[in-house]
Every structure is written in C-alpha cells, then in structure tokens.
Amino acid sequence: MNPVVLDRLTLCYRKTLALDGVSFELPKGTVTALLGHNGAGKSTLMQALLGLLKPTSGTVRVLGADPIREGTRVRTRVGYVPDTCDAPEWVTSGELFRFLAPQYDRWDSEQEERLIERFELPLDTPLRGLSRGQRAKSMLLAAMAPRPDVLLLDETFSGLDPVARHELLGGFLDELRLDEVCVLTASHDLDLVSRVADRVILLADGQVRADGPLEEVLAEWEDAPLPQALHTLMEAHRSGRMAS
C-alpha cells in the first residue's frame, strides 16, 4: 500500500464543504505539490492526514493506518511543518530539539547538527525573537530530524525573503532522503513547484481538478474555467519563465 491513500474524502465544517470527494495516492520516493489558491482546501487536507480533522465521509489512510483512530502511531512517523510556527513562542530552538529528540526513535542527531550549522540557527533565542525565516528553519529541522516516512509541508517556503527562502529550500533539498520518504508540499507558488515537485495535484473549491506533471497540468488547464486566482498563478509562472 502507498504511504498516503485518500478515497473520496469529503470534509465539512462550520457548514462549509472544504473537501469534496478527493481521491489520490502518494507513493514513496516522490515529491508531490498540492497546488491551489487560498481557501482551496490544502491546509484542511493536511490536517485530515494528521488526524486533526475527522472526515465527513470517505477514507484516509497514512502508512496503512486511520489517522483518527491511530493518531499517535501516524504522527510519530509523519513530519509536519505548518504554515505558521505552532511551537510555544517562549521556547528556544535548542529547547525544542531537546524536547523532541527523545520522543522519536529515529531522531537523527547528525542531521540535526548539520542543519543547525547550515541554517546558522541561534539555539538560545526564544522563537518569538527569531525572524520568520529562522522560525521556518527550526520547524523544518524538527520535522526532518525524526526521519519521517511522510513529510507534509504547508506553505513552508512562502512569505520568506529571497535569502531565507534560498537557504531553507537548499537545506531541504540537500537533506531530503527521497528514497525513504513521501513528500506532500502545499503551495500556490508555481516557481517553487517547478523546482521541487515530480507531480502536481491541483485543488480548486475542494476538488481535484488536475493531477500530473506541472507542465501537463498547465497546458491542460490554460483555458479552462478555473478560479481567476489560479489563472493568475499560471500567468505569473509563464511570465517568470520568459523573463529568465
């Protein structure tokens, strides 16, 4: 069985249909980008994979387990970087890593040390005193050091200045053990997607509208009646490629 399997996943909350019959599988050894505008359902889908939101109907399996019924088992094998830092703001990066390491039997101390040095992370500064980029680096390290089987990245590389983004992305790509992990990264940045993803799953209004390599998806949906926000993303991507 593939590490991630969704079968007609539907999820409603607060009278809103957030996901509508979503089905796909993610194999090991791939990086898949979940592409869509804000409100498309990307973060909701990630939370369903973690067992933080209960499906209204359909099934979710992560590493063969139901993340609602077997949440602890799933979350010890899944690395997750949310779109905003969810660790207590008073904790330091060093304290965070020391707290997490004993909880994971596969915590890689050597990788931790490499990324601390590469990211030049200050270990004694509370998270509230770090820049957005430094907080993102801390959260990425915390997600990768346990050597997860599934890695979920929710807009991890968005909203950073170019230098921080380059450093974060470089560290991620250099340390990624792709043969060991299945990666799902949510993004609305087509340039980023083109650099890291083997496959794109396009979400719009809670539904999968396209699934395949990025250029095939762009070609297929260039003139399709998608939300204007997605057409804007596609146009920005084409303009950037022409400029380069």
pLDDT at residue 195 in the model: 85
Alpha carbon distance 144, 159 (integer Å): 21
pTM over 0.75: yes
Tens-digit pLDDT profile for residues 27-39: 999 999 998 887 8
Tens-digit pLDDT profile for residues 131-157: 999 999 999 999 999 999 999 999 998
Torsion, Cα 150 61 72 101, to 10 degrees, reads: -10
Q: Does 241 score more than 50 pLDDT?
A: no
Residue-averaged pLDDT of the chain: 88
| Between 236 and 3, the higher pLDDT residue | 3
Q: Does 244 score more than 50 pLDDT?
A: no
Domains of the chain by residue range: 4-243
CATH architecture of the domain with range 4-243: 3-Layer(aba) Sandwich (3.40)
Cα 241 to Cα 108, 115, 215, 235, distances in angstroms: 38, 31, 12, 10
Alpha carbon distance 32, 217 (integer Å): 13
Tens-digit pLDDT profile for residues 98-133: 999 999 999 999 999 999 999 999 999 999 999 999
Tokens of residue 168, six digits: 């974060």
Which candidate, 82, 61, 94, places its Cα nearest to that of 185? 82
Tens-digit pLDDT profile for residues 89-98: 999 999 999 9
Tens-digit pLDDT profile for residues 184-199: 999 877 778 888 898 9
